[in-house]
């Protein structure tokens, strides 16, 4: 495979136009979130203040939080804040929402990235082998396994993993997550960077498997059907007719073009995985974005719910842009439209 040198101008243009295209999407995310959160029953002021507060005090607090203004004005004000990175103030934690999210977001991103790394590392070879040995026993087994994979609730896998590997075998911890770049002084039981890394891997394995299984199964299925399709293409026939060995055909001629649908499904799977993170963080008691949103809801912490929802959306959009760029990198035809 010949990698093209550097990122051509057209690719940069493509990235630019993709970012521009997602602006309206981001706007709608903020709008939908804002409207939904404003539907939440229960006045946040009443939560913040004791029941016997005087009307003046209520009015003052409402004014401070801008709740006395009409909805559209509040939305515009909020939107301006969002654009500047200000997602409001968390009543429960007593700190700006943005700060809280900056604290939690890396954990969720790390977990999701691990899950995809795990999923891709297993599914791509499995799908390719399955396609190569189509309708042979290997293929049947891999198909059934991946079908079970897409049918199993991720949080249940988490529970089973905890029961087996933490409680019975005692191999891995049942709760928590350590970021590999965490400061050794803030982590209990760690003294060196190496300790951190070891702890990080140790903690990450079970949640990664729980979150990644669905993606793995999904990608295996797509990889298989896409490779089957690709192996039927004329250019594969041609490669055979020119005497390329099967191995080269599989790894090179058929493989690259077959990754396009796979990238698409990874992009779509991001949504499932980020949502799944909410479940997995709950199961493994990991303090990431998912647990944050559930806690925020239970504490009726309004602006924090809004902020986390929006950041979830933004994370997804960024992930999709990354896969789109990868797609454009694999498929030269995509950028073509961008060139003069």
Which residues from 292-311 bind other proteins, rule CB under 8 A? 293-294, 297, 305, 308-309
Sign of the CA dihedral with 186 first, then 276, 153, and 132 last: negative
Q: Does 282 bind other proteins (CB under 8 A)?
A: yes
Binding to other proteins by residue 78, rule CB under 8 A?
no
Task: Mark the segment that binds other proteins (CB under 8 A) among 21-29, 78-86, 99-107, 122-130.
Answer: 21-29
Greatest extent of the chain over all pairs of C-alpha atoms, in Å = 88
Tell me which DSSP letter residue 162 carries: I
**Binding to other proteins by residue 2, rule CB under 8 A?**
yes
H helical segments located in the chain? 9-38, 44-48, 55-64, 71-83, 97-132, 137-151, 154-161, 193-231, 234-241, 246-248, 255-283, 289-298, 302-330, 332-336
Q: Is the dihedral of CA 128, 129, 133, 135 positive or negative?
A: negative
Identity of the residue, 191 or 339, whose beta carbon is nearer to other proteins in the bound complex: 339
Among the listed residues 43, 61, 233, 287, the single contact to other proteins using CB under 8 A: 233
**Binding to other proteins by residue 326, rule CB under 8 A?**
no
Q: How far apart are the first and last CA of the chain?
A: 27
Instruction: Give the interface size with other proteins as a residue count (CB under 8 A).
Output: 79
Q: Pick from 58, 67, 159, 326: which binds other proteins (CB under 8 A)?
A: 159
204 vs 293, beta carbon nearer other proteins: 293
Residue 338 as a binder of other proteins (CB under 8 A): the answer is yes
Minimal distance in Å, beta carbon 182 to other proteins? 25
User: Is the distance from CB of 216 to CB of 122 less than 8 angstroms?
Assistant: yes
Site string for other proteins, 37-56 (x = CB under 8 A): xxxx----------------
Q: Is 93 in the site for other proteins (CB under 8 A)?
A: no
Is 87 within 8 Å of 101 (Cβ atoms)?
A: yes
């Amino acid at each position: 495979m010949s990698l093209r040198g550097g990122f051509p101008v057209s690719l940069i243009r493509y990235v630019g136009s993709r970012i521009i295209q997602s602006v309206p999407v981001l706007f709608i995310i903020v709008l939908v979130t804002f409207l939904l959160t404003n539907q939440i029953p229960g006045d946040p002021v009443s939560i913040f203040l004791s029941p016997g507060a005087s009307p003046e005090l209520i009015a003052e607090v409402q004014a401070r939080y801008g709740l006395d203004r009409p909805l559209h004005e509040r939305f515009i004000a909020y939107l301006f804040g969002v654009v500047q990175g200000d997602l409001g103030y968390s009543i429960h934690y007593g700190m700006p929402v943005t700060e809280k999210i900056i604290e939690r977001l890396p954990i969720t991103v790390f977990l999701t990235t691990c899950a995809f790394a795990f999923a891709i590392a297993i599914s791509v070879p499995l799908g390719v082998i399955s396609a190569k040995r189509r309708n042979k026993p290997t293929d049947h087994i891999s198909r059934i396994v991946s079908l079970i994979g897409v049918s199993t609730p991720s949080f249940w896998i988490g529970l089973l993993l905890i029961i087996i590997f933490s409680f019975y075998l005692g191999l891995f911890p049942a709760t928590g997550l350590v970021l590999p770049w965490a400061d050794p002084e803030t982590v209990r039981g760690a003294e060196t960077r190496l300790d951190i890394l070891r702890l990080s891997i140790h903690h990450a394995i079970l949640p990664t498997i729980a979150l990644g299984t669905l993606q793995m199964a999904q990608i295996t299925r797509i990889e298989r059907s896409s490779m089957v399709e690709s192996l039927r293409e004329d250019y594969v026939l041609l490669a055979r007719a020119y005497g390329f060995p099967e191995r080269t055909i599989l790894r090179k001629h058929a493989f690259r073009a077959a990754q396009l649908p796979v990238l698409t499904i990874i992009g779509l799977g991001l949504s499932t995985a980020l949502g799944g993170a909410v479940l997995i963080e709950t199961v493994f008691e990991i303090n990431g974005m998912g647990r944050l949103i559930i806690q925020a809801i239970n504490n009726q912490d309004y602006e924090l719910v809004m902020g986390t929802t929006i950041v979830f959306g933004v994370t997804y959009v960024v992930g999709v842009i990354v896969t789109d760029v990868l797609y454009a990198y694999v498929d030269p035809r995509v950028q073509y439209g961008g060139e003069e």
